[in-house]
Amino acid sequence: MPELPEVEVVRRGLAEHVVGRRITAVEVLHPRPVRRHLGGAEHFAAVLTDRRVVGAQRRGKYLWLPLDSGDALLGHLGMSGQLLVQPSTAIPEKHLRVRFRLHGAEGGERELRFVDQRMFGGLAVSAGGAELPAEVAHIARDPIDPLFDDEDFVGRVRRRSSGIKRILLDQTVVSGVGNIYADEALWRARLHGERLGAKLTRPQVRNLLTFVREVMEAALLEGGTSFDALYVNVNGQSGYFDRSLRVYGQEGRPCSRCGTAVVRVAFMNRSSYFCPRCQPRPRSGSPSRPRTRATGALDRD
Ligand SMILES: [Zn+2]
């Protein structure tokens, strides 16, 4: 399943290879990926044909292409979706579902192709959605969005009495931080996921946010190496997951900081991984006890 950094890689690819081009033809090869377009496949094709793509935007894992009509082509990759930019002559992919013929001012025909084996993803036209599609307006910005408001995030975390990992996964507080990124960032920040948001200091939350960004940007760099000039690929796992994980999936392996065995516990039908020494569990029954660990830089405000 594409994580947010991979979706951002796709957005950048679209910005480079699709923005500025005119859609000259739309072919829907399977109805399921356009099921959320209420007008149906024919209407979907009709409102997109002869429109120019004027941007490539993202909110969380949703992508949209603002059009010169004021509408937007909105997409979600779901579990297995890919957006590929291919020469029109390239052989159709096995799971090709929707194809858009593009014409650029400098000539040369290309296609934007939506390929999706399992079809949990999809495409729709958001009427008047060029600026911000109504369908995604409820999703909070993510930490690698240039307009993310750090101090607002710090305030929201500190107003919540739930565990910090649960807060990180709450899409109304911050989007795009999945289970893997949460565990990795909490390890770097030396925070146990059950530490309560309301009990964290401002510097602790700011510090955690810095680590969330660090983890996501490292994955973005890895993902950014996986497409070339004409090929935007989201579906491949980025190499980041193999090389750079410190705790996620590392149960029983020594913590790279202190050597203590990494622990796995059940968490919301998934798993949490942490180092029991670097990330001590908050003592239950006395949640207001003062912090006893020296946290160094964390104590600066
Ligand atoms: Zn450790």
pLDDT tier at 271 (50, 70, 90 boundaries)?
A: very high
Q: Tell me the CA–centroid distance for residue 231 and ligand 1, in Å.
A: 40
How many C-beta atoms lie closer than 10 Å to residue 292's C-beta? Answer: 8
**pLDDT(91) > 70:** yes
Q: Is the pLDDT of residue 298 over 60?
A: no
How high is the pLDDT of residue 223?
Answer: 59
pLDDT at residue 18, rounded to an integer? 92
Tell me what pLDDT residue 238 has.
41
Task: Given the residues 118, 202, 253, 270, select the one marked as catalytic.
Answer: 270
pLDDT, one tens digit per residue, over 241-251 is: 555 789 998 99
Kindly tell me if the per-residue pLDDT of 228 is higher than 90.
no
Task: Pick one of 3.40.50.1220, 2.40.50.180, 3.20.190.10, 3.20.20.450 as the CATH number of 4-136.
Answer: 3.20.190.10
Residue 3 known to be catalytic: yes
Confidence at residue 60, expressed as pLDDT on a 0 to 100 scale: 86
Q: For the chain, give every residue range classified as CATH 3.20.190.10.
A: 4-136
Whole-number Å distance, alpha carbon 179 to ligand 1 midpoint, is: 19
Looking at 11, 59, 61, 190, which residue is catalytic?
61
If you average pLDDT over every residue of the chain, what do you get? 86
Return the CATH fold of 150-246. Answer: Helicase, Ruva Protein; domain 3 (1.10.8)
Highest mean pLDDT among 45-54, 72-81, 104-113, 241-250: 45-54
Prediction pTM value: 0.74
- Comparing 188 with 139, the larger pLDDT belongs to 188
Between the CA of 51 and the centroid of ligand 1 the distance, in Å, is 54
Ion ligand 1 — residues with CB under 5 Å?
255, 257-258, 260, 275, 277-278
Q: Percent of the chain at pLDDT above 70?
A: 85
How far is the centre of ligand 1, averaged over its atoms, from the C-alpha of 249 (Å)?
Answer: 15
pLDDT at 285 over 80: no
Task: Specify whether 2 is catalytic.
Answer: yes
pLDDT at 174: 92
pLDDT range class, residue 198, cuts 50, 70, 90: very high
- In whole angstroms, give the CA distance from residue 30 to residue 133: 24
pLDDT digits (tens, 9 = 90+) for 114-154: 998 889 889 999 999 999 999 999 888 999 888 899 999 99
In the chain, which residues fall in CATH 1.10.8.50? 150-246
Which residue is catalytic, options 2, 5, 33, 66?
2
Q: Is 61 tagged catalytic? A: yes
Does residue 143 have an active-site annotation?
no
Distance 7 CA to ligand 1 centre (A): 31
Check whether 291 has a pLDDT greater than 60.
no
Point out the least confidently predicted range of 34-48, 79-93, 279-293: 279-293
Expressed in angstroms and rounded, the spacing between residue 258 Cα and the centre of ligand 1 is 4
Residues 63 and 14: beta-carbon distance below 8 Å:
yes
Q: Is the pLDDT at 230 greater than 90, yes or no?
A: no
